[in-house]
Amino acid sequence: MTDATIDVIIPVWNRPDETRNCLVTLINHTPGARFIMVDCGSERDTERLLQELADSLDDRALLMRDDSNIGFVPAANRGFASSEAPYLALVRNTTLVSPKWLEPLLAYAGEHPEAGILLPCLDPGEECNTPKELERGSFAAMVVSKELYRRIGGFDEGMDGGAWCLKDYTRRANAHGFVTVQVPTPVVHHQEEVQLGSEQRRRETQQRSIALFRERWGVGASYVLHVPKGVEVELLGEKLEWLVKGARHDDSYTVLLPASLNQAVQQAGLATLHEHVTLVPLPRLAWDGMKKRLFEKIASEKPGTTPVTAVDGIPFPWSDRYLSFSELCERIKARYQ
C-alpha cells in the first residue's frame, strides 16, 4: 500500500528528452505523489532513463513495462488500475507542470466532491480565471477522483484516443453525478501530439468514434435565449442552472441579456459556468434592428438553432417561432431520463 495523496500516471513511448523534462518537473512540483510510469516498449535510452528515475524514487515510483506500444489510452488504463491513492493524475510525457499546479485542483476537489475530473490551466489553451465546467478533460494533464474511477472505470479503448474518447468519459461521469471542471492554476505547458498512422485510418477511427458517441449519447441541440429587461440576477441564476444541465448533455446555449444586467452577472460569478453556456450582453444604445441582426448572425452560425424566451409569456422579439423557457426545461428533463 501507499500513503500518497495522488498517483501520477505517465504513459511513455520514447522521446527521452521530453520524458526527462516532464518527470523532473513532476517530481519537483508534485509533493506527496507516487509516480506510475507505463513504458510502452520504448527504446533502450528511454528504458534506461525510466529505470534510473524509478530506482532514485524508491517507493515513490512504480515502473510498468510492455514489450510493444499498446497505445496511450490502454497504457493510461493500466496505470489507473494500479493506483491506490484517493486521486489519480494523468500526464503526457511531453507536458511540463509548474510549481503549485496541483494544489488548487485538490483543494477544489475537496470542496466540490461532484468534481470528478479536474483540469489545470493549459498553455496553449484558453485563458482560465474562474472555475468552469468543460465538455471533456485533456490527456495533457487531468486529475480524476478515485471515487469516479471506482464508479465508471477507465477510458473506452475502442474510441479515438483523443477528443471523442474524452467526451465519452465526461458523459459517463455526468451519468453518475460527476462533472468536469477547469480550475485556475499556475499554467501547465503542453505540446500538441504528433498524429501517427495514415490519415485515412485516423479519419476512419474518428468517424467510428463519433458514430459510437452519438449512438450512446445522442446529438446536442443549439438554442438562443432572450432575457428581457427587468429580470433580476437571482432569477437569471436559477435559469442558468437549467442551461448547465442541458450543456452537460451536449446542448449549447447563447444567452442574450440586457447590458444593464451584465455587470451584476459578472459580480455574481455567473458568466463562466460552462463552456457551452455563453452570455452575450446586447448593445445598450443599439436600435432593435441591430439587435435582431446580432441574433440572426448567432443563429446562422449553428443551423437548426432554436429561439427561446427566457421568461414565459413574453414573446421572443425577433422570431415568431420559439420555445418558452418551461418548454425548454421539459426538453432538458427528457434528456436526463
> Grid coordinates standing for 256?
442574450
pTM (two decimals): 0.94
Pairing of strands 115-119, 87-91: unpaired
- 20 contacts: CB under 8 Å, gap ≥ 6: 49
Note the pLDDT tens digit of each residue in 93-146: 999 999 999 999 999 999 999 999 999 999 988 889 999 999 999 999 999 999
Residue 60 has what DSSP assignment? G
Q: What's the pLDDT tens digit per position in 243-289?
A: 999 999 999 999 999 998 998 999 999 999 999 999 999 988 778 88
Alpha helices in the chain (DSSP H): 16-29, 44-57, 72-81, 103-111, 146-152, 163-175, 199-217, 233-247, 259-267, 288-301, 325-336
